[in-house]
Amino acid sequence: MADVLLLLAEGFEEIEALGTADILRRMGLNVTTASLKDETVTGAHQIPVLADTLLDDVDPTGFDGVILPGGMPGSLNLYNDERVINLLYNYAGENKVTAAICAAPMVLDKAGLLEKCPFTMYPAEDLYKYLRDSKRPQADRVVVDGKVITAKGPGVTAEFAAAIATVLAVDSNTIKSVLDSMFVKL
Rounded distance, CA 75 to CA 26, Å? 26
Residue 93 parent element (H or E):
helix 82-93
Q: Is the pLDDT of residue 183 over 90?
A: yes
Say which residues have a Cβ less than 8 Å from residue 87's Cβ, sequence separation at least 6.
60, 66
Rounded distance, CA 66 to CA 99, Å? 6
C-beta of residue 56 within 8 angstroms of C-beta of residue 2: no
Q: Is the pLDDT of residue 101 over 80?
A: yes
Read off the pLDDT of each residue in 117-133 and give the average, rounded to a whole number: 94
Task: Measure Cα distances from 27 to 53, 62, 118, 155 in Å.
Answer: 22, 19, 27, 19
Rounded distance, CA 69 to CA 89, Å? 17
Minimum mean pLDDT among 130-134, 155-159, 180-184: which range? 130-134
Give me the pLDDT at residue 92, please. Answer: 96
Give me the pLDDT at residue 143, please. Answer: 98
Read off the pLDDT of each residue in 86-108 and give the average, rounded to a whole number: 98
Sheet arrangement for strand 30-35: 53-54, 30-35, 3-8, 65-68, 97-101, 148-151, 142-145
Q: Which residues pair with 68 in a beta bridge?
A: 100
Binned at pLDDT 50, 70 and 90, residue 135 comes out as confident
Give me the pLDDT at residue 134, please. Answer: 77
DSSP 6-24: EEE-TT--HIIIIIHHHHH
Instruction: Classify 77 as helix, strand or coil.
Output: helix
Say which residues have a Cβ less than 8 Å from residue 47's Cβ, sequence separation at least 6.
14
Question: Per CATH, the architecture of 3-181 is what?
Answer: 3-Layer(aba) Sandwich (3.40)
Read off the pLDDT of each residue in 114-132 and give the average, rounded to a whole number: 94
Read off the pLDDT of each residue in 9-24 and give the average, rounded to a whole number: 99
Mean per-residue pLDDT of the chain: 97
pLDDT, tens digit, for every residue of 42-96?
999 999 999 999 999 999 999 999 999 999 999 999 999 999 999 999 999 999 9
Give me the pLDDT at residue 186, please. Answer: 82
What are the structural domain ranges in the chain? 3-181
Give me the pLDDT at residue 182, please. Answer: 96
Residues with a catalytic annotation lie at 102
Binned at pLDDT 50, 70 and 90, residue 133 comes out as confident
Q: Is the pLDDT of residue 27 over 80?
A: yes
Q: Using CA of residue 50, residue 81, residue 65, residue 152, what is the dihedral sign?
A: positive
Rounded distance, CA 122 to CA 169, Å? 26
